Amino acid sequence: MTASSSPAARRKARRYALQALYQWQLAGAALGDIEAQFLATNDMEKVDRTYFHDLLHGVPGQVGDLDEALRPFLDRRVEELSQVEKALLRLGAFELKERLDVPYRVVINEGIELAKVFGAEDSFKYVNGVLDKLARRLRSAETAHRRREPDSGARSRDQGDGDRDGGDA
């Protein structure tokens, strides 16, 4: 695994992609301009720049489909979500839908961690619930397999299962 595709490099790519998507949602600037600004003003040496690019351009390219996929699991209209929650949920939905190389639990965990940093006080709980339900729909075989594993909770806590730093993030 190269440094640019390490879990830490992808985590940083998600963080920057979230910030860039937030900017896109608020300002409506061209994605190429936002990407150029992020590349010029941030230390991207330890960031998976390809993943950043894919997320930044993939989410807006499918925003209608992503919002439609999220809609059944929301307690309000997409338009009523905070800008941070909206960007987080769209990012997570995109990864669940398009990045099958990333385990669904990693997608959910990364969304939770970003919500803790950028979201309102308890938004991580909301993000967790919505992405978990969406994962069950989009990745039913993967989520059903995980639910059938005995003692999977103990393994997650004690041995790690790829959700944090050691997985396919």
pLDDT digits (tens, 9 = 90+) for 101-143: 999 999 999 999 999 999 999 999 999 999 999 999 999 988 8
pLDDT given at position 166 = 41
The neighbour count for residue 159, using CB atoms within 10 Å, is 8
**Which amino acid, residue 49?**
R
Instruction: State the pTM of this model.
Output: 0.84
156, 125 Cβ separation under 8 angstroms: no
The neighbour count for residue 91, using CB atoms within 10 Å, is 26
Distance of CA 46 to the CA centre of its chain: 18
pLDDT given at position 169 = 53
pLDDT given at position 145 = 76
pLDDT given at position 61 = 97
Q: Which portions of the chain are predicted below pLDDT 70? A: 1-4, 146-169
Residue whose C-alpha is closest to residue 56's, from 16, 112, 28: 16
CA-based max dimension of the chain: 48
67, 31 Cβ separation under 8 angstroms: no
pLDDT given at position 143 = 84
The neighbour count for residue 152, using CB atoms within 10 Å, is 14
